[in-house]
Structure 1
Amino acid sequence: MKILRLSTQLHKWIGLIVGLQVLFWVGGGLVMTAIPIETVRSEHRVAEAQLEPLALDALPGLGEIAGLAGVAPVQADLHGTPRGPVWTLKPASGDAVIVSAITGRPFAPMSRDEVPAFAKRAYRGEAEVTGVSYLATAPEETGKTGPLWRVDFADGEKTSFYVSPSTGEVVSRRSGVWRLFDFFWKLHVMDWDDGEDFNHPLIIITTALTLIIVITGFVLLWVRVSRDLKVMRENRKKPK
């Protein structure tokens, strides 16, 4: 049968080509479903916020703050941080400017000795700080830009908090669990760069080939079952 021969050849050779990626899909899917997403995000390591309510009546108005900062914002956000209330001013073009909501000026840089206290305040657990490092460029894994402080903790997940050098806020949390998850995610979407592109031609082609494997597998199964049923019927007709 031509259809049987064709299905067998397609099933065999395409299976050899994409079989490893199918293994990555299944194995990665198992890892990603077995680990709670809350653990991946280190949500169990986040302490309750301890910020003071904003004293709005005592703060200068937005217009005054924008004048002091020398920014003509098209968008402005006021919120509390460990170093005090801040305005995030977004001009029509360029990066947002973060300034104190009291002085209208950027905060003074934090020293290395100050950083662990901000990280510990945001951390839930008893683990000690094992390392503090200043990063002039935010690592890709943070999803942020600009400089950051990294604070490492001696817990089972090897948690790292990334702290804003301006406000003392923890802007990103990463851990060994997150990095394991990220590794399998990149294998899953076949984007080994940053794991952001899951519509690229390679994964589309591989998925199409995998679909062919499934279809030819059903064809082979149908042929085998039909043959077995035919043999069973012939055996029943034979005289005993």
Structure 2
Amino acid sequence: MKLRYLHLMHRWLGIGLGLLVLLWFLSGLVMLFVAYPQLTSTERLTHLDDLALQQVKLDAAQVWALTGKLGQPERVRLSMREHRPAYYFLQQGQWFTIWADACNVAPDESISGASIPISSTAAVNAARQFQGHAKVTETLLLSHDQWSISSSLNGHRPLYRVALNDAEATELYVSSHTGEVVLDTQGTERAWNWLGSVIHWIYFTPLRMEHELWRQIVLWLAFAGVVLTSLGLWLGVQRIRINRRYSHDRITPYHGWARWHHIVGLSAGVFCITWLFSGWLSLTPFGWFSDRSLSAEESARWAGAELAVQDMKLPLPSAADNSTATGIKEFEWLKFAGNTYVLARSEQQESLIDSQSGLPVAPFSAAVMQAQASKLGAYGAVASAHWLSNGDLYFKQDAQTTPQVLRIAFADALNTTYYVDARTTKILASQDSNSRIYRWLFNGLHRMDIPPLTDRLLARRITIFILSTGGVLLTVAGIVLGWRRVRRKWA
């Protein structure tokens, strides 16, 4: 009798969830090849003019004083906009921009500290410059839409969505605060994402806007999927006969679609369970395993002092012109160990510049970074520090952009580890025992990011395709059986 109830539970869970699980498998295959739309740092920097320091007339402290704002900005960048240098300030989560060649000039030619107003015309100009002067077909000011949900864009909202009449059906999203292009999408990318990420994450705008509601819905749907597949595998094992076989030497009592469902379930059932379970874990149920992020306290201790606009000096024009400015697209100021540096960005890499001499700063030694790391928390002394050339199982390293990465490990209860770029002093990642477990349970089980597939993209994709095909066959057979059952019941 108990088995009957388990069969009924499996059957009706399958009827209710079968189509969704099938769509999860199919959309996951699409996501192997088409990522969710985003503007990468390289794409953004590629479309900027080289930074013309000789045009900069005011330093960050002078411009900040003219704004009349209290406190300090959280971040300050300097780059070109409309072929003119401009400062970009972030304060209280919102960006705004002010010209650096002279503060905004009011109609009476007096200097003003007001931020640059971003009109629809300015947004169109920014989009045309970004995309090679393509014809604009539509401009719309919006807060959110299907492709601009990311919280990383909150400091730029509302956004101008500028549609272009080019071969790729490009749509660009321009910040109403800074006039920067902050997101780009193409027609084929949007179309494939409707079949990929949107379905896979149940990423429909009205629902996704209610973050906790969305999270709870996906969380419990995924959990129900785990129960469904776990029941199916257990019941399938109960019904198989290897030694004392069914008539006609069959190992399964079923026929037709039920036979396919049983056999494929026994073959692909474990993968289906682990895949759905790892997807469920990605939503951090009950506060369980998750990636590790730097806390605000850790960031402050690593910096060693508060970043103040008074310390944001420009490199000497003569030195910068001769040695560092060529190919540089953007400056940003940062603190490390109590000292202020200029982070110079080009299309392919980042490096530090001494604001006094304008010359590049040599990569920091392991001893210097270990000394600063020892101030990050109550972890005790540094247990080990090793240079990485190709990352490790918990950190993927791009040897071109970050050739010198120091892994600093502590012997604390959580085995906390930091990965630091010696050229920029950035902490690129951090791990502890919790996040390492998450790495194996999610990246390992959900993305097949396991040795020896970790560094073999093609082999990993083939493996995922084969396993997902088993999941597709299993769910298709289950959907057919469920449809037949419902049709008979309601006929």
TM-score band, normalised by shorter chain? 0.7 to 0.9
Amino acid paired to 1:121: Q
- Would you say 1:55 and 2:53 are equivalent positions? yes
Hey, what does 1:189 align to over in structure 2? Answer: 201
Hey, what does 1:107 align to over in structure 2? Answer: 116
Contact 2:169 / 2:186 at 8 angstroms: preserved in 1?
A: yes
Hey, what does 1:18 align to over in structure 2? Answer: 17
Q: CA deviation at 1:183?
A: 6.6
- 1:27-50, Cα deviation, whole Å (9 max, x unpaired): 221222232x38x44779879334
Judged with a 3 Å threshold, the aligned counterparts in structure 2 of structure 1 residues 41 and 23 are, in CA distance, closer, same or farther, namely same
61, 64, 87: which one pairs with 2:62? 64
Question: What CA distance in whole angstroms lies between the structure 2 residues aligned with 1:87 and 1:134?
Answer: 26
Hey, what does 1:89 align to over in structure 2? Answer: 89
139, 145, 151: which one pairs with 2:144? 139
- 1:39-98, Cα deviation, whole Å (9 max, x unpaired): x4477987933413241684223232122222234124131132222223344x574432
Contact 1:88 / 1:98 at 8 angstroms: preserved in 2?
A: yes
Contact 2:80 / 2:86 at 8 angstroms: preserved in 1?
A: yes
Amino acid paired to 1:14: L
SS at match of 2:244: helix
Question: What CA distance in whole angstroms lies between the structure 2 residues aligned with 1:57 and 1:159?
Answer: 32
Hey, what does 2:373 align to over in structure 1? Answer: none
Question: What CA distance in whole angstroms lies between the structure 1 residues aligned with 2:60 and 2:173?
Answer: 29
- Would you say 1:211 and 2:222 are equivalent positions? no
Question: What CA distance in whole angstroms lies between the structure 2 residues aligned with 1:61 and 1:45?
Answer: 27
Judged with a 3 Å threshold, the aligned counterparts in structure 2 of structure 1 residues 28 and 99 are, in CA distance, closer, same or farther, namely same
Q: Tell me, which stretches of 5 or more residues in structure 2 are unaligned? A: 105-114, 250-491
RMSD, matched Cα: 3.7
Hey, what does 1:230 align to over in structure 2? Answer: 244
Amino acid paired to 1:150: R
- Would you say 1:80 and 2:91 are equivalent positions? no
Amino acid paired to 2:135: V
In our comparison, the structure showing a higher alpha carbon Rg is: 1
Question: What CA distance in whole angstroms lies between the structure 2 residues aligned with 1:9 and 1:104?
Answer: 72
Question: What CA distance in whole angstroms lies between the structure 2 residues aligned with 1:94 and 1:34?
Answer: 33
Contact 1:82 / 1:167 at 8 angstroms: preserved in 2?
A: no
**What pairs with 1:31-42 in structure 2 (closer than 5 Å)?**
31-35=30-34, 37=35, 40-41=37-38
Contact 1:129 / 1:151 at 8 angstroms: preserved in 2?
A: no
TM-score (norm 1): 0.72
Hey, what does 1:158 align to over in structure 2? Answer: 169
Question: What CA distance in whole angstroms lies between the structure 1 residues aligned with 2:123 and 2:229?
Answer: 54
Question: What CA distance in whole angstroms lies between the structure 2 residues aligned with 1:94 and 1:230?
Answer: 68
Contact 1:160 / 1:175 at 8 angstroms: preserved in 2?
A: yes
- 1:172-199, Cα deviation, whole Å (9 max, x unpaired): 2123344341574343233533547487
Contact 1:151 / 1:162 at 8 angstroms: preserved in 2?
A: yes
Contact 2:49 / 2:80 at 8 angstroms: preserved in 1?
A: yes
Amino acid paired to 1:212: V
Q: CA deviation at 1:101?
A: 1.6
Query: Identity over aligned residues, as a percent?
Result: 19
Q: CA deviation at 1:18?
A: 1.3
Question: What CA distance in whole angstroms lies between the structure 2 residues aligned with 1:150 and 1:130?
Answer: 11
Amino acid paired to 1:229: N
Which region of structure 1 is more displaced relative to structure 2, 40-49 or 13-22? 40-49
Amino acid paired to 1:231: R
Contact 2:139 / 2:160 at 8 angstroms: preserved in 1?
A: yes
Amino acid paired to 2:116: F
Hey, what does 1:175 align to over in structure 2? Answer: 186
Hey, what does 1:238 align to over in structure 2? Answer: none
SS at match of 2:51: coil
